[in-house]
Amino acid sequence: MAVRRLWPVPVYALTLLGAVLTTIFNATREPWIPAAAALYILAATNRRPVVSLAAGLGSGVVAVTITAINTGTFSGMPLDILAFVTLVMVATWAVGRWVDARRTYAQRSAQQLAHSMVSDERLRIARELHDIVAHSMSLIAVKAGIANHIADQRPSEARDALRVIEQTSRDTLNDMRRMLGVLRSDSPDLAPAPGLSGLPELAERARTAGVDVTMTAPSISLPTGLEMSVYRIVQEALTNVVKHAGPVPCSVDVSASDGLVRVSVVDSGRGSGTPGSGHGLIGMRERVIMYGGQFTAGPLPSGGFAVSASLPYASAPP
């Protein structure tokens, strides 16, 4: 099998030669069978149609010739024998080309699937990195600005801001290490995925940046992937509040009922400060769409910005 795929033309030539020799020495009653086998080998393994077609013509000539030798009918070969041999050669060539086409299609499909899986994995990694880094860097930037502004007048508050920066930096570094550890291993249990139990910590981090967060969240267990999506949506929404709205009141409400998880994050900031086409909003929308849910985000008429998402969990993937 491997030899014929590596050297189809030499294998074809040797098989055809064997067909001629078996005919000369009367070693077979059906001399066209080796010729058909030789043609199939080349048609099924050679990617150049011209070569396989030429081989088909050559095999046909050889098959007719050795059949004539075997039957002793050079001058008057019956038309039914000629038609039968020709039909066998054409059918053999067609089957060989079909097998080659199917093999090529399967290889291309496998390559496309692998490429799609790599692209999906890159997107997932990019989304996770964005969710981890963007939230923490926004908080660090806010606290660094505060520390720089009040360093001379209120050094104790500046030191508090620096402590928040230090702790946030350490937490972010640990999160990235855990994520990289999961990516480098086949084990799914290296680090627990963030979920509903981590929402209070998100609220506390936002409060350290000056955002007055009020949060309500259920104490229930949901599919792991769904919990992580809810966590990331709340995380990104609070990150946008910190970056664009500033130290304002913000309400976070997470509820689960009737097979839906509903997430609402509303602030009373400037309203139009959050861009509608940023990567964060795109990531949130993608997470919701993945579960067949609904997502809206935009400024409120009375001022402020609202993020709303509903994700079905009755048939949510784990």
Instruction: Provide the pLDDT for residue 255.
Output: 93
Say if residues 309 and 293 touch (Cβ distance below 8 Å): yes
**Count of structural domains within the chain:** 2
- Residue 217, pLDDT above cutoff 80: yes
pLDDT score for 173:
77
Q: Are residues 97 and 210 in the same domain?
A: no
pLDDT of 309 reads: 95
Examine the fold and report which residue of 88, 112, 136 is the final residue of a domain before the chain moves on. Answer: 112
> Is 253 part of a structural domain of the chain?
yes
Asked if residue 107 and residue 207 are part of one domain, the reply reads no
Tell me if 231 sits within 8 A of 194, measured CB to CB.
Answer: yes
Q: In this structure, is residue 244 part of a structural domain?
A: yes
**In-domain check, residue 75:** yes
Give every strand in the sheet of 212-216, ordered side by side. Answer: 212-216, 249-257, 260-267, 305-312, 294-299
Segments forming the whole domain that contains residue 92: 2-112
Confidence of residue 291 (pLDDT cuts 50, 70, 90): confident
Question: Of 112, 147, 165, which residue sits at a domain end?
Answer: 112
**162 part of a folded domain:** no
- pLDDT tens sequence across 232-289: 899 889 988 888 887 889 999 999 988 899 999 999 876 544 444 566 788 788 888 8
Residue 169 lies in a domain: no
Q: Evaluate whether residue 192 is within a structural domain.
A: no
Give me 209's structure tokens: 């940046």
Q: Does 177 have pLDDT greater than 80?
A: no
pLDDT-derived band at 297, boundaries 50, 70, 90: very high
Q: In this predicted model, what pLDDT tens digit does every residue of 47-94 receive, in sequence order? A: 666 565 566 566 666 666 665 555 555 445 556 666 776 777 778 878
